[in-house]
Amino acid sequence: MTVAERTVMGDPGPRGRFGSFGGRFVPEALVPACEQLEEAFRSAWADAGFRARLAGVLRDYAGRPTPVTDAARLSEALGVRVLLKREDLAHTGSHKINNVVAQGLLAQRIGKTALVAETGAGQHGVAAATVAAYLGLGCTVYMGEKDIARQELNVFRMELLGATVVPVASGARTLKDATNEALRHWVTAVDSTHYCIGSVVGPHPYPWMVREFQRIIGDEARAQCARLLPAAVPDVVVACLGGGSNAAGTFAGFAATSARLVGVEPAGGAALRHGRRGVLHGYLSSFLQDEHDQIIEAHSVSAGLDYPGVGPEHAYLAQSGRAEYHTATDAEAIAAAGLCARTEGILPALESAHALAWVQHAARTGDLPAATTVLITLSGRGDKDAALLKEITRGRR
């Protein structure tokens, strides 16, 4: 690892700080669990045997490496060269499997017998249920009632895999509220249960640990681009973000290069553009808040981006200027999903479509000149969104 990589996206230290963001703000009952997890992660990540087992499972079970697709027809439509990092081709249909396989193996290493998870779009819940079945662990997934209605197929998949899906009726009945309930569950079952957080959020060591588990996306993509491109590195690297795990994993592979790093938030949940410093779910970052510092509900057509905050490392990358963050509207994301489907035969998840939408806008406005090469992380496939897209595009919503 280079000095630049250690500095930009490195070890946040025992306090878990990315600049002034991050940290650990949890009830006393969870402090020992967080400390145990940090110690276990540091030990495992330094253990060649653990790393080899993880790599083997990701290769033989999850289907890594995922390819980079040179999207010729989409490139022609947009006027810039587009490369797609195909996390939609990983087992379960998204990047979530990378993190959950690693956390599942880590949970076994420290003697836990069950996983508890939160989910919005359902992809993390499906991945958690999948890995729990694979490793013989119990699994409980909390999901907001609104998201359950939007993602019925993924709920059924989780139940088929043996997980218990618990509807959450509080608050906006979305990802934030599911996370609240998963944390409460963890407090009551911490001795036997590992909280498998799905993004680069939560108390230390989760934001750092999940980024490291997801950096396989960026590391693979960097090596693949080195073989594809004369300059070895794309001009721009783009990923969507709610909490931001696929973006953090992608950026980690390119942080020490010349690539421009761009994260794309939903316009109705742009915590980095419209948020303020605050604490939620055990960490300090940028959150949507009212004048009384109460959390404001986010909105996105994509359940996976419907979160009022962002991972603390993204807040730091924005503050430091190493990455920039933009937004895409629901309508732009829906249109971009359709364009990708028609030109490439690839239906992206609505989350990923936000990244595509920004590239489409930036190419049209001249922010991305015609000679630009853009790598977009396609974080998941759009099967889960097909019913919703049908309703929207046929005017039933």
Active-site positions read 96, 118, 379
- Side by side, the strands of the sheet bearing 138-144 are 164-168, 138-144, 114-119, 193-195
The number of CA neighbours under 13 Å toward the Cβ of 249 is 30
DSSP H helices, the chain, are 3-9, 31-45, 48-60, 72-78, 96-109, 123-135, 145-150, 152-160, 175-188, 206-228, 245-254, 271-274, 312-320, 330-344, 350-365, 386-393
Q: Cβ contacts of residue 90 below 8 Å, gap of 6+?
A: 62, 63, 64, 66, 97, 98
Instruction: Give the DSSP letter of residue 253.
Output: H
For the chain, counts of helices (H) and of strands (E):
16, 14
SS3 277: strand
Tell me if 350 sits within 8 A of 385, measured CB to CB: yes
- Residue indicated by tokens 């980079």: 68
Q: Six-digit token pair at 108?
A: 């076994």
